[in-house]
Amino acid sequence: MTIGWHFDNTYSKLSNTFKEEIKPTPVHNPTVVILNDNLAKDLNLDFSNISKKDLSEIFSGNKIPKDTTTIAQAYAGHQFGHFTMLGDGRAVLLGEHIASNNKRFDVQFKGSGRTSFSRTGDGRAVLGPMLREYIISEAIHTLKISTTRSLAVVKTGEKVVRENLLPGAILTRVASSHIRVGTFQYIAAKQNLDDLNTLVDYTIARHYPEIKSSNNKALDLLNLVMEKQCKLVVDWMRVGFIHGVMNTDNMAISGETIDYGPCAFMNQYDPKTVFSSIDKFGRYSFSNQPPITKWNLARFAECLIPLINKDENTAIKLATETIDNFQNIYEEKWLNMMRDKLGLYGNDENDKKLINDLLNWMQKNKADYTNTFCYLMNIEIGSNNLYDDKDFVNWNKDWQKRVSANEVSKENSLELMKKTNPIIIPRNHKVEEALKAAYKDDFQVIKKLLSNLNNPYDKKKGIEDYQYPSNDNGYQTFCGT
């Protein structure tokens, strides 16, 4: 148990409105199937002197480290637009671990048994979805995008009932916190102004201490969260990531990607791409991610109205002006991101047209999103006959002309592209291959996939097979609940 835990639990000291004190439900025969040694180092944890059996006991929740106060957090959420009072129905927060750099990290078990928030759920998780979260969250981290991370996955030795009997698992998730837009919605719905003030003060102290002395903390908090969420969704769009279930309870106030459910990466460029089996109308499709982010932020703003100004009309006016500014912030960040993807320095009034012409061509010709930018960086992947198309050749000439107008060398332009465009992403068929192997107790496929996804901006030998897209027609992802 002496692996370096240093718990200091502040959230559990808030009133019972915010949480339920509860321990993980013990499991019969836990086995660690994957452990994140790189993350462990970041957290100043050392697993070298502890047996695999003891590690399995710890990461299943069978043995609780000292100085923890295990809780399930309360929150609400708009799920596909419908408001529901929720909470951690299958997760338990172990506590807040302090690393040597004095950074605070939530350590949470996902799939650790029923809580008072479980409703009709069984509180358990299945091996496949937990491993998917591990793979994709680590990939998002290596892509240099803000995210929660996965420290371990444990098989519980028990079966979970879904469509079939499936192997149960528990994921250990690490986050800068688990405070969500839905947390604010839950407290706002209780209509206790003291609790709402407490949550705002706690969130600011933990994530945005620079506005601690602000004259309007609630409004400043809204602006900072909006800025963070804009950056996050622009990064998703940069690499073709589709979260899949952007409910308000899945939007972290810290600006981290959280709650990896039916997530996937886009292969052929199509703004309407959606993989989630439950997203029948494309609410959370690739191109809908920015407007849904704005919609979620509007729900956050509604929670803060009583604290923005004592006069409700004034508060609504201030909040509305803030939310209305989302489009400007997003469009500027998106345009600059796309300029980076194309190695463009400075501003040109025709940049937006140049970018949209490329995207329209990609959509029309079903070009692979990631590999098209690789081609523009002179990284050839398989057959490139597609790029002999007359319209693309003409576009390429316009692009080269614009690159030549940069006030920097072509080498600098290429370097900018290399920092922005990944060479490798977690291709959906490769993720599925790894998950299928795991169900047969073969975890080498996952480990090889993770190894190849490390340093995704660098050209490496032996990754060619991981760069080819598959045909995603009919491909679906599932939440696992």
446-465 per-position pLDDT tens digit = 999 999 999 999 999 889 99
For range 422-447, the mean pLDDT:
97
Q: Are 367 and 386 in contact (CB under 8 A)?
A: yes
For range 85-94, the mean pLDDT:
96
| Residue 423 in this model has a pLDDT that exceeds 70 | yes
| Residue 2 in this model has a pLDDT that exceeds 90 | no
Strand 82-85 vs strand 91-98: parallel, antiparallel, or unpaired? unpaired
| Residue 338 in this model has a pLDDT that exceeds 80 | yes
Report how far residue 471's alpha carbon sits from residue 250's, in angstroms, rounded to the nearest whole number. 29
| Residue 479 in this model has a pLDDT that exceeds 90 | no
**Residues forming the active site:** 249
19 Cβ contact partners less than 8 Å away, ≥ 6 residues apart = 11, 12, 71, 72, 73, 74, 93
Residue 466 pLDDT class (50, 70, 90 cuts):
very high
**What is the DSSP code string of 62-121?**
SSPPTT---EEE--EEEETTEEEE---SSEEEEEEEEPTTS-EEEEEEESB---TT-TT-
At residue 206, the pLDDT reads: 98
Residue 115 pLDDT class (50, 70, 90 cuts):
very high
416 Cβ contact partners less than 8 Å away, ≥ 6 residues apart = 340, 343, 345
H/E run at residue 132 = helix 127-142
Residue 407 pLDDT class (50, 70, 90 cuts):
confident
Percent of the chain with pLDDT over 90: 91
| Residue 1 in this model has a pLDDT that exceeds 90 | no
CA–centroid distance for 357 within its chain: 29
Could you read off the pLDDT of 298-337 as tens digits, one per residue? Answer: 999 999 999 999 999 999 999 999 999 999 999 999 999 9
Q: What is the dihedral of CA 17, 303, 231, 141, to 10 degrees?
A: 10
| Main-chain dihedrals φ then ψ at residue 31, nearest 5 degrees | -140, 125
At residue 481, the pLDDT reads: 61
| Residue 185 in this model has a pLDDT that exceeds 90 | yes
Burial 358-385 (b: 16+ CB within 10 A, else e): beebbeeeebbbbbbbbbbbeeebeeee
* Helix segments in 172-275, DSSP class H: 181-190, 193-207, 217-239
H/E run at residue 158 = strand 149-161
Percent of the chain with pLDDT over 70: 99
At residue 162, the pLDDT reads: 86
**What is the DSSP code string of 160-174?**
EESSSEEEEEEEEEE
Q: What average pLDDT is seen over the chain?
A: 96
Residue 256 pLDDT class (50, 70, 90 cuts):
very high
| Residue 255 in this model has a pLDDT that exceeds 80 | yes
Q: What is the pTM of this model?
A: 0.96
Give residue 480's region: left, alpha or beta (phi > 0; psi -120 to 50). left
| Residue 374 in this model has a pLDDT that exceeds 80 | yes
CA–centroid distance for 117 within its chain: 23
Q: What single DSSP character describes residue 156?
A: E
For range 114-137, the mean pLDDT:
95
For range 370-389, the mean pLDDT:
93
Report how far residue 305's alpha carbon sits from residue 212's, in angstroms, rounded to the nearest whole number. 18
Could you read off the pLDDT of 33-73 as tens digits, one per residue? Answer: 999 999 999 999 999 999 999 999 999 999 999 999 999 99
* Helix segments in 271-389, DSSP class H: 289-308, 312-324, 326-341, 351-365, 369-376
Residue 118 pLDDT class (50, 70, 90 cuts):
very high
Residue 480 pLDDT class (50, 70, 90 cuts):
low
Instruction: Please compute Rg for the chain using Cα positions.
Output: 23
Could you read off the pLDDT of 153-173 as tens digits, one per residue? Answer: 999 999 998 888 999 999 999
